[in-house]
Structure 1
Amino acid sequence: MGQSCAIQLDFRTPQGAPVPRVSQPAARTSRREDSDQVPVFRSKDSVCGEIKITPIPGRRVDHQGIHVQLIGEIELASDRGRPHEFLSLVRDLSPPGELTTQLSLPFAFEAIELAHENYLGLKVRLRYLVRVSVLRGLGSTVTRDFPVAVRNPVASPVAGPPIKMEVGIEDCLHIEFEYDRGAFSLGDVVVGRIYFLLVRVKIKHMEVEIKRRETVGAGAQARSESETVAKYEIMDGAPARGEIIPIRLFLDPFDLTPSVENVHNRFSVKYFLNLVLVDDED
C-alpha cells in the first residue's frame, strides 16, 4: 500500500501508557544486536493502541472499509508460505469512505488468551502480528503487519531429585556425573559434578553442551532435528583418577526458549545437557 498512504501503529496499554518492548530476531540469521524491538504481551493482556493512516498529500484514497486483525500463526518449512493460523480476531474500524487527511483509529483486543510464546527454530516459526488493512477494489488493498512478542512468566519448575549416572568404556574410562536436578527455568544455574573413577585414555578437554531438539509433526509423521545451542568448557587437560570436576553453568546468556509439547499438533521443543569428552585422537 506504500503507493497511496502510510500506516503507523502506536501500541498502548488500556491506561494509555507505552507497551514494554523486547528484542526479537526477524530471522534465524539475525544477530542479537540486529534484532527488532517489538511490543511484548502476556496471556490475558489487552492488545490495543492507535492506528494512523496518512494519504499522500494531494491525493484522495477511496476505500471499502478499514479493519485490524490479531493473528497467531505457526509456519513449518514444509508449509511453503501457507502458515497454520491458530488465532485470528478481527475488528472493523471504519466503514467505506475516502481519505484526504490523516485518520486516527483506536483499536482494542481485550483480555486475549495468548497461550504460546514466540518461537523461531530450524523448521518452525510461531509468531503473532497485528495486521492493518485498508480495503480497496481490484486487488489494491493496502496492508501492513506489525509483529508482537508474547512472553508468559511461569513458576519455577519443581526441582525433583538429582540426576546421577555412570558411563564409560570398558577397561578404559569410567565416570560418574551428577546434576542437581532435571528441570530448570530460563534464568537458572546448572550445578553438578563429574567424578573420574577410571582414566586410561588421554583426554584433552571436556565440555557441557546444551542441545535443542525440535520435532515437527506428531505420531508416525514426526521428524526431529537437533542443534547445539551452547558449549561450555569445564575441563582443559587430562584428568587423574579420583578427580572431581565441578559444573556451574549459567543459562541466562544463552538463546533458550521454554520446552513445549505438541503445540497444535505441529511441533515440540525439548532441551538436553550433553557431556562431551575429547581425546587426543578427537
Structure 2
Amino acid sequence: MSKLFGGLATGGLQIRIDLAGTPESHPDRIKYIRHRPSWKVRKNVFLALKNRQLQDGPQQPQPYGIMSKQDQPQHPMVYSDDHDTEGEVTLAMPPGKKLDHMGVQIRFFGRIDMEAGAHEGRPHYDFVSLSKELLPPGALFDKRTIPFNFRGVEKIHESYHGRNVAVKYIIQVAVARQWLPPITQEHEVIVQRTGIPPEVNDPIKMEVGIEDCLHIEFEYERRCYHLRDVIQGQINFLLVRIKIKHMELAVIRRETSGEGVAAAASMGGGGGATAGKSDPNIVTETQTLLKYEIMDGAPVKGELIPVRLFLRGIPADITPTYHAENNRFAVRYFLNLVLVDEEDRRYFKQQEIILWRKELG
C-alpha cells in the first residue's frame, strides 16, 4: 500500500509510504478487501461484485513521477493485530530542485477519533504513539528511500469507521522546515483482530405478548455469532387473538460515543442520532442494517415460523461487538422482531447478539 503527496507549497516534494508484505507473502496476517470500511449501508448490494480483479503486482515507479495511479494497488489490505508494521518511505524532489529540512520523523499512532459536534471537549484520544527519526537535518536533492519498522506494537483495538467515532492506526511522515510548517503525509493501516469462540454460548429463549391477546415464544440457537455465521431460530405462536398482517426481522447496529460511555451504552436508543439526556456529550446512532419480511398473513395458534439469516448477506460492513472501549465508545448489535396488525399497530421485541471475528477479511 502507498500514499503520495506533493504540491507547490511543499517545494515539489513528494512522499510515498509503502508497507511491507502482501496477502501472497503473509496469507495468515494480510488480506485484500474490496473497499475501505464504512458505516454506511450499501444501497446496491451487488456493487461489491464489480471490479473483482485484484492487482497482479506493483508497477515500477517512474524516476520522479511517483504519483502514477498505475503504481497504486486497486484494493486496500487489512493487517492482523500481531503483524509488525514496517515498510519504506520514499522522498522525491523534481530534477534540479532542492529542499532544506530540519529532520524527517516517522510516527505510528493509534487514535480514537470522535468527530461529532458533541465531542468538542476532546475530539480524539491517542492510545498508542511511537516515533522514530528517519533523517537528520540536511537537504533533499533527488529521491531517497528509507526503511522503517515498528515491531512488537500492541494493537489493542480493531480499526473501526463509524458514524460519529473511528478507531484508526496511522503512519505519519513529517519533514520539518525552518520558519515554515512541516510537510506531513499520513497513511492509515487497517487492523483487524481475530477472536476465539466463546466458552458459553447458550440459546436465546424469550416469551413476549399482550395479555389475553397475543403470546409468542421465540428462540435463537445461540447468542454469539462470528461475522460470517448464520442466525437460525424459530418463532412459536402460543396465543393469537389479534389479526396479524405480517412480521419483520431487522438487524440493528447501535453506536454510542462520548466520554463516560460505559453507562450510556446499556441504555436504549431511538432511530437516528440522539444526544444522551443525562449527559449531552453522549451521542447514540442507531442504524437498521437489514430488514426483511419473514411472515405474510395471519398466523394460527401453534404455528412455527423458521428464522434463517445470513450475516454475510447484510449490505454493510459489520464489525465485532465493542464493549465501552476506553470508556469512549461502544458498538452493539440487536435482532428486532416486529409484528404489524391490520390496523398498522406495531409490536416489537429486541434481543442483543454478540458478534466476533473468526478470520480476517
Label 1:49 to 1:95 Cα distance change in 2 as closer, same or farther (>3 A): same
Q: Contact (CA 8 Å) 2:38, 2:162: kept in 1 or not?
A: no
- Identify the residue that residue 42 of structure 1 maps to in structure 2: 80
Q: TM-score, normalised by structure 2?
A: 0.71
**Counterpart of 1:127?**
168
Aligned partner of 1:281 among 337, 340, 343:
343
Distance 1:24 1:70 in 2: 23
- Among 239, 247, 255, the alignment partner of 2:299 is 239
Tell me how far apart the structure 1 counterparts of residues 140 and 326 of structure 2 sit (CA, whole Å): 41
Structure 2, unaligned runs of 5 or more: 1-5, 51-73, 264-277, 345-361
Q: Percent identity?
A: 41
Residue of structure 2 in register with 1:74 after alignment: 112
Partners of 1:30 and 1:37 lie apart in 2 by 20
1:17 offset after TM fit, Å?
A: 4.5
- Matched to 2:293, the amino acid is E
Q: Superposed, which structure 2 residues align to 1:50-199 within 5 Å? A: 50-76=88-114, 77=116, 78-80=118-120, 82-199=123-240
Higher strand share: 1
Deviations 1:214-243 (A, max 9, x none): 222324645544222222321122222211
Distance 2:237 2:41 in 1: 41
Secondary structure of the corresponding residue to residue 114 of structure 1: coil
1:40 shift after superposition: 2.0
Q: 2:356 aligns to what? A: none
Deviations 1:33-57 (A, max 9, x none): 59x8433222232101111111133
Q: Residue 267 of structure 2 aligns with which residue?
A: none
**Aligned residue for 2:18?**
10
- State how far apart, in whole Å, the 2-side matches of 1:246 and 1:137 are: 69
Residues 20 and 227 of structure 1: CA distance in aligned 2, closer, same or farther (over 3 Å) = closer
Structure 2 Cα separation of the partners of residues 39 and 138 of structure 1: 38
Greater shift in the superposed pair: 74-83 or 208-217: 74-83
Q: How many residues are treated as equivalent by the alignment?
A: 280
Of 330, 334, 347 in structure 2, the residue corresponding to residue 272 of structure 1 is 334
- Cα distance, 1:266–1:63 mapped onto 2, change above 3 Å: same
1:262 aligns with 2:324: yes
TM-score normalised by length of structure 1: 0.89
User: In the superposition, relative to structure 1, how do residues 245 and 267 fare at CA in structure 2: closer, same or farther (>3 Å)?
Assistant: same
**Structure 1 portions without partners, runs of 5+:** none
> Using a 3 Å threshold, how does the CA distance of structure 1 residues 64 and 20 change in structure 2: closer, same or farther?
farther
